[in-house]
Amino acid sequence: MTPGTFALLSLAGGAGAALRYAVDALVRARTTSPFPWPTTLINLPGCLVLGFITGLVAGRFAGTELSLVLGTGFLGGYTTFSTASYETVDLVRRGHDRTALLYGVGVLVGGVALAAAGYLGGMRV
C-alpha cells in the first residue's frame, strides 16, 4: 500500500464514521422506540453498498485500490456491527427479548442478503 492510498483510506474511514454519527443523531432525534433504528438504517444499506462495490470491482476494476478506499475505508467507518451486537445484548438486558432476537437475526440475515444482492448488482454493471 502506498502512503497516498493509506492517507485516502484514513480520510475515507474518518468520513464514514462522521456520517454514521450524523445519521445516528438524526434518527435518534426522531424516534423513541426501543428498537435500534439508527444502527439498522446504517448497517443494512451499508451492506448493500459494500456488496455493490465489491461486485463492481470484481467485475470491472480488479486490481485497483478503489474497493480498499471505499469499502474498507468509508464503509468500514460508516457501518458498525459491533454496535449492533452491543444493542442486541442491551435489548435483552432491558427485557426486550423478542425485539433482541428479531433485531439480532434480522440485521445478520438482512445484511448478508443485501450484500449478496449488491454484489450481484455490481457484477452486472
Cβ proximity of 73 and 13 under 8 Å: yes
Annotated binding-site ranges for Na(+): 76, 79
Cβ proximity of 75 and 16 under 8 Å: yes
Closest residue by Cα to residue 19 from 67, 85, 75: 75
Cβ proximity of 27 and 43 under 8 Å: no
Annotated binding-site ranges: 76, 79
